[in-house]
Amino acid sequence: MMKQWVGNFSTKQIITLIIGLVLAIYLVWYVVEALEGFDPDYRPSGRTASDNNANQGAKGNDFFDPSKKPAESAATK
């Protein structure tokens, strides 16, 4: 049965099938290895979005203040 099924494929199709299987196995191996050290409880900064919003205060975002003028660089003088 298997010989009849494989016998219907050309050599190019068989080689392509083997390469596809090898690539699929490699991809699964790569993802498993990449996820091996994954910590699902990882928190990059320890701060949450609500903490960031609470620290903004009445003035708003401290990083952007449209009323401030940009500092002049030494190259423009």
- Domain-embedded: residue 18: yes
- Domain-embedded: residue 68: no
Angle among Cα 69, 61, 50 to the nearest 5 degrees reads 170
Per-residue pLDDT tens digits for 6-59: 778 899 999 999 999 999 999 999 999 988 888 778 777 756 555 555 555 555
- Domain-embedded: residue 14: yes
The answer to whether residues 9 and 17 touch, using CB atoms and an 8 Å cutoff, is yes
- Domain-embedded: residue 58: no
Query: What pTM was estimated for this model as a whole?
Result: 0.46
Q: How far apart are CA 72 and CA 63, in angstroms?
A: 18
| The pLDDT value given to residue 4 | 76
Can you give the residue range of the structural domain that contains 2?
1-38
- Domain-embedded: residue 32: yes
Angle among Cα 53, 61, 69 to the nearest 5 degrees reads 175
- Domain-embedded: residue 54: no
Give the chain's domain count. 1
The answer to whether residues 68 and 59 touch, using CB atoms and an 8 Å cutoff, is no
